[in-house]
């Protein structure tokens, strides 16, 4: 198989940060990433660049590099320091500056009956509860508006719970640069939204991006219903894997149980490595 064909196949299952859709959103914001060709094996990586004083720093997220790639990366990026959030465990060039996290992945290549069979019993019980709650689920493309109600609520959540996610302008840019690929699922009660989930589609993969759950949504287990309906709808669009994001059983045990209880598999990433070019 030629490099071109192999590369196109690999892109279909690439993580969000290594897919051209992610790069298109950055270009829309006027901060384009670089795509650098590497060898052994032949592949491309997407590099984001930042300048800190006199130092150009490159960031490669959710990809692996080898020691032989340094010259190409140095020449192609103009960076002196490279930070790599490695995709797989194992030795990587440079010094490890952060331990490996874990990601939850949910395959959609089987039947809906098989999806349910992989769920934890408590998760299935809550899904059945939400199915009986009378909620109305609607889904569609997210408007390319950084002031969209879900993005505003997400910013409020980040401040209240003291965590950081992508800013609203990035999410709106992704929606604008990748028409129809930012998919929002809403659970409504009496016409008002009580919970929502947002997924970013890239190739054959969809990545969980934002979730919001109001008091009424929590009472009716609306997020169980939304994830279930998203699995069905995204599979019909050709998505074969859901990336539910990182799993942290220490700081977010409830969220970890939700992801793994849905039948997702936990996979180790490779940690963050710093290397001088």
Residue 41 preceded by cis peptide, ω within 30 = yes
Domain ranges of the chain: 3-100+272-276, 103-268
131's tokens: 């199915």
Local structure of 182: helix, strand or coil: strand
Helix-helix angle 149-161:168-177, to 10 degrees: 150
pLDDT at 1 over 70: no
User: What percentage of residues in the chain have a pLDDT greater than 70?
Assistant: 97
Convert the pLDDT of each residue in 6-16 to its tens digit: 667 788 999 99
149's tokens: 């109600």
State residue 199's pLDDT score: 98
pLDDT at 80 over 90: yes
71's tokens: 């010259």
State residue 90's pLDDT score: 87
State residue 44's pLDDT score: 92
Q: Could you tell me the strand order of the sheet in which 265-268 lies?
A: 136-141, 182-189, 192-202, 205-213, 241-247, 102-107, 265-268
Would you say 273 and 128 are in contact if contact means Cβ atoms under 8 Å apart?
no
Convert the pLDDT of each residue in 37-64 to its tens digit: 998 678 899 999 999 888 999 999 999 9
State residue 5's pLDDT score: 55
* CATH superfamily of the 103-268 domain: Gcn5-related N-acetyltransferase (GNAT) (3.40.630.30)
Average pLDDT, the chain: 94
Would you say 37 and 44 are in contact if contact means Cβ atoms under 8 Å apart?
yes
What's the longest Cα–Cα distance across the chain? 60
Residue with tokens 């990336």: 243
Would you say 48 and 18 are in contact if contact means Cβ atoms under 8 Å apart?
no
Q: How far, rounded to the nearest angstrom, does the alpha carbon of residue 128 sit from its chain's CA centroid?
A: 27
pLDDT at 4 over 70: no
User: What percentage of residues in the chain have a pLDDT greater than 90?
Assistant: 86
State residue 6's pLDDT score: 62
Q: Which of 191, 192, 211 is nearest to 200 (CA)?
A: 211
The bridge status of strand 205-213 relative to strand 241-247 is parallel
Query: Does the CA dihedral 264-47-152-175 come out positive or negative?
Result: negative
State residue 7's pLDDT score: 65
Average pLDDT over residues 173-192: 97
pLDDT at 137 over 80: yes
State residue 67's pLDDT score: 87
């Amino acid at each position: 198989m030629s490099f071109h064909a192999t590369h196109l196949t690999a892109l279909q299952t690439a993580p969000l940060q290594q897919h051209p859709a992610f790069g298109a959103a950055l270009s829309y914001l006027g901060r384009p990433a670089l795509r650098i060709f590497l060898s052994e094996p032949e592949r491309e990586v997407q590099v984001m660049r930042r300048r800190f004083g006199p130092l150009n720093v490159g960031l490669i997220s959710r990809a692996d590099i080898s020691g032989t790639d340094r010259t190409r990366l140095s020449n192609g990026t103009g960076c002196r320091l490279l930070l790599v959030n490695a995709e797989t465990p194992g030795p990587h060039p440079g010094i490890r500056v952060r331990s490996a996290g874990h990601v939850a992945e949910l395959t959609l290549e089987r039947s809906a009956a098989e999806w349910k069979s992989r769920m934890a019993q408590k998760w299935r019980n809550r899904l059945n509860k939400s199915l009986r709650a009378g909620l109305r689920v609607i889904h569609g493309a997210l408007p390319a508006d950084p002031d969209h109600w879900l993005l505003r609520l997400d910013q409020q959540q980040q401040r209240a719970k003291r965590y950081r996610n992508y800013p609203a302008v990035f999410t709106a840019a992704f929606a604008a640069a990748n028409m129809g690929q930012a998919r929002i699922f809403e659970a409504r009660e009496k016409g008002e939204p009580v919970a929502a989930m947002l997924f970013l589609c890239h190739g054959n993969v969809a990545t969980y991006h934002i979730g919001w759950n109001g008091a009424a949504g929590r009472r009716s287990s609306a997020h169980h219903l939304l994830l279930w309906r998203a699995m069905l709808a995204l599979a019909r669009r050709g998505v074969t894997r859901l990336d539910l994001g990182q799993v942290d059983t220490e700081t977010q045990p409830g969220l970890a149980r939700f992801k793994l209880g849905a039948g997702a598999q936990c996979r180790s990433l490779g940690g963050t490595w710093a290397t001088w070019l």
